[in-house]
Structure 1
Amino acid sequence: MTDSLFEIDTPEGQAPLQHMPITDEQVAQLRAAFADAGINEQKERKAVIESCVVRPVNSLRDLHAADAHRVLSLIRQRKEARPKIVGGSAWDNREEETWIDRL
């Protein structure tokens, strides 16, 4: 037994929560969140995940259950941060300034 104030006792034979494997339900939630946020490219998905867990990840199955919660939160934040397109054309709703705008 350690003298740490914040040590969480886990039953013997059970992994600590941060090392529990990701569940099938969490994998489905991550895939749905990526699709809902419009993050469809595999490279972009991997970049989002690795920026959150700060380690290389080859597939969703490499994540831990606790990682899935953090990644889901990040995906939701990114989705909410995107500007909402209310109306107008793609030209009116562009984010970057073009050479025509500088004339």
Structure 2
Amino acid sequence: MAIAEAIKEAIWTLGLMVDLGMEQHKLDVYCGSQSGIYLARYQVHYARTKHIDVRYHRVREVVVEGEIRLKKIATKENPIDMLTKVVDASKFKHRLDLEYVKQV
């Protein structure tokens, strides 16, 4: 689950913000997998979920505690897809214009 890596980075970012004395806000982590969000939010026991890695339990902990908020993002609106999938010029431009991508 890529969400575990994203949550790990979000936790690190929150810790850095605390160390720098910055105001700490809850972070939103966007995920394109509805099933990944469901597994992170709810403790379910299915034959396929009984061997879930320990790091996914940490994901569930921070989501349930409210430190991190998981949100669903539609594939059409996911800006990372322009870096990982084949997109034509119009879709690339659309993703650049999304509010998630800011020019520095």
Query: Is the structural similarity TM-score above 0.5?
Result: no
* Highest RCO, 1 vs 2 (Cα 8 Å, sep ≥ 6): 1
Q: State the TM-score, normalized to the length of structure 1.
A: 0.24
Structure 1 or 2: more strand by fraction: 2
